[in-house]
Structure 1
Amino acid sequence: MTAAEHTPGESLYEAVGGIEALRRLSNTFYDGVLADPLLAPVFAGFTRTHTEHVAVWLGEIFGGPARFTDELGGHQALLRSHLGLAITEEQRGRWMELMAAAVERELPADELLRRRVLEYFDWGTKIARDVSAAPVGEDLGDPGPTPRWGWDGLVGGN
């Protein structure tokens, strides 16, 4: 299926199945992460609230309600939460493997949809890895508004 074959104006948020699908994705993914010896140390302070925050973030990224910005501090808060984690490229790669498995299990069997979602995760995890090298408290400057990801990738970006 191509982007043009999806309902005109349909967001990725709608195509994945909305917040409930993103909650399932987040829960399935973090069940794998917490059991993974390479990634579990990165999430030492993990709470189940984190899975809901991730679902809300993804909802906003993929064209749903702006709840992360309105309720949880927006793009700046998300970036700050990665400071000091020192994520390695090996950890990022494993994160992507586990997310790809969760996407396959939890999202609709739509090749284009799954590809676009995983492209977002590849893009976003590179940013998280880079930001994680900075110490906690680092001034990140203004990262701008929460990005949006659509059928053609980053909306309004490069």
Structure 2
Amino acid sequence: MTERSQTLADAVGGIDALRRLSNTFYEHVLADPLLAPVFADFSATHIEHVAVWLAEVFGGPADYTDRLGGHQALLRSHLGLRITEGQRLRWMEVMRTAVDKELPDDELLRLRVIEYFDWGTKIARDVSAGDADDDLGAPGPTPRWGWNGLS
């Protein structure tokens, strides 16, 4: 069991670092022929929403839940996207590059962040097979990811 006193959100550098990570990531995603179609409805607010989501997941304030609809809203945003496993794997490659560029040079920190993305993208892929009117049930609160993975 890993013991570190700060949250992953603090360890990565807070919301500003997560904005930089999201921005770098989406610059590459939107230019990628395999991934760009998934983000056909992309808007600049998406970068901010992702940063706010990640801050909450990584132990920061519950702003995504309080202002943007929480876990249910995030899952619903993936409905109908029909994300393939190939797209998910490419997404992970692009994110690993962004993590290496934007996050502190801390092997364990980067590992935990990438583990979260691997876990989360599998859920996004599975949910994306559904349609906009599908009932997702009650997915529960926004997941929290820390130094030991899912809390």
The TM-score bracket by the shorter chain reads over 0.9
Write out aligned runs for 1:55-134 (5 A): 55-134=51-130
| Matched residue SS, 1:99 | helix
Distance 1:135 1:120 in 2: 25
Query: 1:84-112, CA deviations, whole angstroms, 9 ceiling, x for partnerless residues?
Result: 00000000000000000000000000000
Query: 1:99-145, CA deviations, whole angstroms, 9 ceiling, x for partnerless residues?
Result: 00000000000000000000000000000000000011111000000
Where do 4+ consecutive residues of structure 1 move more than 4 Å? none
Structure 1: stretches of 5+ with no match in the other structure: none
8 Å CA contact 1:87–1:132 kept in 2: the answer is: yes
| Matched residue SS, 1:3 | coil
Count of paired positions: 151
- TM-score, normalising length from structure 1? 0.94
The equivalent residue for 1:12 is: 8
| Matched residue SS, 2:126 | helix
Structure 2: stretches of 5+ with no match in the other structure: none
Counterpart of 2:133 (choices 137, 149, 153) is: 137
8 Å CA contact 1:15–1:113 kept in 2: the answer is: yes
Q: State the identity as a percent.
A: 74
Distance 2:89 2:95 in 1: 10
CA shift at 1:3, angstroms?
A: 3.4
| Matched residue SS, 2:131 | coil
The equivalent residue for 1:3 is: 2
Amino acid at match of 1:105: K
Amino acid at match of 1:68: Y
- TM-score, normalising length from structure 2? 0.98
RMSD of equivalent CA atoms: 0.9
